[in-house]
Amino acid sequence: MREIVHLQAGQCGNQIGAKFWEVISDEHGIDPTGTYHGDSDLQLDRINVYYNEASGGKYVPRAILVDLEPGTMDSVRSGPFGQIFRPDNFVFVKPLLHQRYELHLTPAEDLFPPGQTHGQSHIRTAWAPD
C-alpha cells in the first residue's frame, strides 16, 4: 500500500494545502474533527494513503506544514479543518529567530579617495590592459 506525506510550504502552499485537505476530507467522509461520517465503504478504501488513524477512530492528515512565520499557520489552524492537523506537524521559525536583512547604502564619496572620480581606478589586475 502506498502512503503519501503531503508537504505544504509558504503562505501560498499552505493556503492551497488547506483547501486540498477540505476537499479530500469531504471526499472521504471525514469531518473537521477527523471523525469518519461517510456513507460508503468506498470512502474508507485506501484512506490510509493520506491519513493516519489515531486513537478514538480519528483520522489525521499525513502532512507537514512549513512557513517562516506563524501567521500563516494561525490562519490554517483557525480555518474550517484546522483542528484536524497534528500540532507537531506545524514547522515555523519563531519571530525572535527570524533575521531581517537591511540594505545599507554608502555614499560614493566614502568609497573613493579624495580627488578620484568614479571612472578612475588605480588598481590593476593580471588581465586588465594598460
pLDDT in tens, 24-51: 999 999 999 999 999 998 999 889 999 9
Could you tell me how far CA 53 lies from the centroid of its own chain? 24
CA angle 102, 105, 106 (to 5 degrees): 140
pTM of the model: 0.69
Stronger pLDDT, 93 or 68, i.e. the higher one: 68
Q: What is the pLDDT of residue 69?
A: 81
From the number of C-beta atoms within 10 Å of its C-beta (0-12, 13-18, 19+), residue 36 rates as middle
In this prediction, residues 123-127 reach a mean pLDDT of 48
Strand order in the sheet with 63-67: 6-9, 63-67, 90-92
Q: What is the pLDDT of residue 14?
A: 95
C-alpha cell at 127: 588581465
Q: What is the pLDDT of residue 125?
A: 46
* pLDDT greater than 70 at residue 97: no
